[in-house]
Amino acid sequence: MHILPTLRQLQYLKLLAEHKSFMAAAEKAYVSQPALSSGIAELEKILGARLVDRTRGQIILTAIGEETLKRAEDILARAEDLVEATHGADKPLTGRFRLGVIPTIAPFLLPKALVRLRTEFPDLRLFLREDQTARLIAALKTGALDAAVIALPYDLTGLDHVFVARDEIFAAMPHDHLLSRETSITPEALKNEELILLEDGHCLRDHAMAACSWTGASGANESLSAYAGGGFAATSLNTLVQMVGSGLGLSLLPAMAVESGMVPADDVTIRPLKSDHAFRDIVVIWRSGSSRAPEARLLAEKLKT
């Protein structure tokens, strides 16, 4: 029978990988540096492999160390799930719940929802993290988050989700632009325009491109992404709207941003897109197998109302 690593040893490895220092990792673990070093050495002995290279004063995980860390993070996340589920077994959405949300959703969906959650679940301690989708999913898989609110389409391998809302995508243009005379805009009409989108990393950029596809003269499917060049890129929706209002180009905006009142009617004209794909789906996601799944589903229901 093999001797198994302890959760404490796996925590030591995770902290060491995060802080790249035995001293810093020991401080975070509230143990002495020799105790942490001994724990890592014992873990290496149990697994029969070197996990950490300590050459030239640098702390670098070996290939086996990286694989061990990946599995350790999953084990630790499930252990934390167990503790949280036990504490909240009789009462959902109590205690700590760590929720991620992407920046193109957070300011529009959360404010009213947070007021309702505080009223209905007074014992809930909700910790929010606003970040891009890829980093939120990474945090979910390591157990740093319990759930996240993102937009689809996106690769959800290893995750479960529940639908919250469909968010239409509109064309936005300076009020004096020729296209503002149209009641709706075809994706093809945008292919020769100066498009201002969010910078790379924001999934709304990809959703906006996916919303603009059509059948070309040859019968093949074409997408606006083939025509969108470098041009301007904005770091936030607020900046993007201001750039459009200043006449720098056209853009594509989600309905929740338009309905929030952030788009100045005197400077920017909003028109619907003639496309069957002009939307994104807002969902709550969580790690497959997480014991917080019922609470994530309950949270999604509260976000719908």
CATH of the domain at 39: 1.10.10.10
15, part of any domain:
yes
Using the predicted structure, report yes or no on whether residue 163 has a pLDDT greater than 90.
yes
59, part of any domain:
yes
Residues 45, 178: one domain? no
2, part of any domain:
no
pLDDT, mean of residues 175-186: 90
Q: Specify the pLDDT at position 168.
A: 93
Residues 268, 154: one domain? yes
Q: Specify the pLDDT at position 291.
A: 81
Residues 115, 32: one domain? no
Q: Specify the pLDDT at position 207.
A: 82
Distance, in Å, from the CA atom of 196 to the CA atom of 240, rounded to the nearest integer, reads 7
Distance, in Å, from the CA atom of 299 to the CA atom of 286, rounded to the nearest integer, reads 11
170, part of any domain:
yes
Q: What residues contact residue 195 under an 8 Å CB cut-off, 6+ apart?
A: 224, 228, 231, 249, 250, 251, 252
Choose one of 85, 120, 142: the last residue of a domain. 85
Choose one of 68, 85, 102: the last residue of a domain. 85
pLDDT, mean of residues 261-271: 89
Q: Provide the pLDDT confidence category of residue 190 given band limits of 50, 70 and 90.
A: confident
Residues 77, 166: one domain? no
Residues 131, 176: one domain? yes
The overall average pLDDT reported for the chain is 86
Using the predicted structure, report yes or no on whether residue 260 has a pLDDT greater than 60.
yes
1, part of any domain:
no
Dihedral of CA atoms 17, 18, 19, 20 in degrees, nearest 10, equals: 30
Distance, in Å, from the CA atom of 87 to the CA atom of 85, rounded to the nearest integer, reads 5
Residues 17, 100: one domain? no
Structural domain that includes position 246: 93-305
Closest to 54 measured CA to CA, from 31, 11, 22, 24 = 22
Distance, in Å, from the CA atom of 136 to the CA atom of 130, rounded to the nearest integer, reads 8
Look at the block and give the residue holding tokens 């596809």: 213
What kind and span of H or E run contains 101?
strand 95-101
Distance, in Å, from the CA atom of 252 to the CA atom of 203, rounded to the nearest integer, reads 13
28, part of any domain:
yes
Q: Provide the pLDDT confidence category of residue 73 given band limits of 50, 70 and 90.
A: confident
Closest to 101 measured CA to CA, from 45, 164, 54, 59 = 164
Q: 47, 56 in Cβ contact below 8 A?
A: no
Using the predicted structure, report yes or no on whether residue 57 has a pLDDT greater than 80.
no
Q: Specify the pLDDT at position 40.
A: 93
Residues 117, 14: one domain? no
Look at the block and give the residue holding tokens 């990393």: 201
Higher pLDDT, residue 226 or 59 = 59
CATH of the domain at 169: 3.40.190.290
Q: 105, 255 in Cβ contact below 8 A?
A: no
What kind and span of H or E run contains 215?
strand 213-215
Using the predicted structure, report yes or no on whether residue 32 has a pLDDT greater than 90.
yes
User: What are the backbone angles phi and psi of residue 132, rounded to the nearest 5°?
Assistant: -75, 155
pLDDT in tens, 92-118: 777 888 999 999 999 999 888 888 888
Choose one of 85, 114, 148: the last residue of a domain. 85
pLDDT, mean of residues 213-223: 63
- Residue type, position 178, single letter: L
Residues 75, 150: one domain? no
Q: Is the dihedral of CA 54, 143, 88, 98 positive or negative?
A: positive
Q: Is the dihedral of CA 150, 153, 159, 165 positive or negative?
A: positive
Query: How does DSSP classify residue 199?
Result: P
62, part of any domain:
yes
Residues 130, 261: one domain? yes
Distance, in Å, from the CA atom of 111 to the CA atom of 261, rounded to the nearest integer, reads 14
Q: Specify the pLDDT at position 100.
A: 96
Distance, in Å, from the CA atom of 39 to the CA atom of 76, rounded to the nearest integer, reads 16
pLDDT, mean of residues 226-242: 76
Give the chain's domain count.
2
Query: How does DSSP classify residue 172?
Result: E
3-state secondary structure (DSSP) of residue 244: helix
Residues 75, 106: one domain? no
200, part of any domain:
yes
Q: What percent of the chain has pLDDT over 70?
A: 90
Residues 240, 143: one domain? yes
Q: Specify the pLDDT at position 149.
A: 96
Residues 182, 74: one domain? no
Higher pLDDT, residue 226 or 213 = 213
Using the predicted structure, report yes or no on whether residue 218 has a pLDDT greater than 70.
no
CA atoms within 13 A on the CB side of 108: 22
Q: 167, 282 in Cβ contact below 8 A?
A: yes
